[in-house]
Structure 1
């Protein structure tokens, strides 16, 4: 297996007045291509900060973040924006959909930023929405959809640009148990079909059961790494 994400002595310190809060404390990890990884821990353990670092959303205080052979810690904001557009997709707990846009517009917006022609991006967005079971909801706005349907739009948006890595931050935190498993089955089957890497942040043990490996975090450090029997196909 080839690594697609690697961190070396990754450290993040936030300053609040005279106080320093250590969110990440010399974190070293490797995540491999086509792997499904879960980062689990209680609130304040550093798991979301670690995801933000690997996704190029935050800069480290010190250390290295190497994603797809690129050093994120050396990039400026413009370079990081370009990196995210080309390499990653995001699924968030709160969906992060634009309320004034339809499902089709929310999904195709990702391709707009890449300069994809309108006809092409609408075709791709339509296909992706059909793939997540929303072929009849193309022109509905978020307020006209259930939480599960909004998360499916979020998933379609994450995958429409065919990213190498999908980052999911508490992707089922606002969903009931039945919808949670439907969403997780959908996301994991899509990353396997497309040979992508999935990194999930959660505090839910049931969600972590979908992973190949689990990184357990506490107080800004990786406490242990757990390998699981896989659900579905084995990653080679």
Structure 2
């Protein structure tokens, strides 16, 4: 079963009298539980593709179908509610709220869903322990390293068990060793819970963590290849 499918997606920006084609009729599908990478250099269109898939930008044409639902015509309010219930994000710059502790940051997606405070706090603590931050529960972002902040970001993305997670350049602000640790953890979490994970990156080394690598160049899909080395590591997810 496909978790997300895009059909003939085209995105055109009008800048003055100029017409810039950011995406040119891209079609692809990502299966439920698949770990997929969208790989491309700066300016290739990969970030625009992520934004369209996540409903952060509207395509000029084409359709986006998530979990069998065509969300292309959703209003901004409908998209916001859909993201809260179905999508998690891991950002390059972490996007943690500086005035909140690690527990409070991780609990936010559950708060948006109306989960009671005691229950969401318990789930946030459990998830932070799962990413090896049990000793940083009450720390604020400024009291943590970049790698620790990104682990908080991973915990936040997974805590509500969304159907789909987007990771946008998740190691872009990290050194290579910390980046490897973060990728190992993120992929392990996705496999543990059977989550669909889409990683967007410019780095071929990061792409190797995915079971499938889709390469974007000048707004077009130029290759779509399986990665047996990563696929062979897949385990039965937890229920």
TM-score, structure 1 as length reference: 0.97
2:114 matched to which residue of 1?
115
2:202 matched to which residue of 1?
203
CA contact (8 A) 2:216 2:223 kept: yes
Deviations 1:31-64 (A, max 9, x none): 1111110000111111011111111211111100
Q: Using the alignment, how far apart are the partners of 1:10 and 1:234 within structure 2?
A: 32
- Is 1:87 the counterpart of 2:86? The answer is yes
CA contact (8 A) 1:108 1:125 kept: yes
Q: Using the alignment, how far apart are the partners of 1:204 and 1:115 within structure 2?
A: 38
Q: Any unmatched runs of 5+ in structure 1?
A: none
TM-score, structure 2 as length reference: 0.96
Give how far 1:74 is off: 1.2
Give how far 1:19 is off: 1.3
CA contact (8 A) 2:191 2:235 kept: no
2:146 matched to which residue of 1?
147
Deviations 1:161-203 (A, max 9, x none): 1011110000001111111111111011111110111000001
2:48 matched to which residue of 1?
49
- Is 1:25 the counterpart of 2:12? The answer is no
Q: Using the alignment, how far apart are the partners of 2:156 and 2:229 within structure 1?
A: 26
Alignment of 1:1-236 (within 5 A): 2-231=1-230, 232-233=233-234
Give the paired residue count: 235
CA contact (8 A) 1:35 1:235 kept: no
CA contact (8 A) 1:39 1:217 kept: yes
Give how far 1:235 is off: 8.3
Give how far 1:234 is off: 6.6
* Structure 1 residue matching 2:85: 3-state secondary structure: helix
Give how far 1:100 is off: 1.1
Give how far 1:70 is off: 1.2
Deviations 1:130-174 (A, max 9, x none): 111111111111011000000001001100110111100000011
CA contact (8 A) 1:10 1:26 kept: yes
CA RMSD of aligned residues (A): 1.3
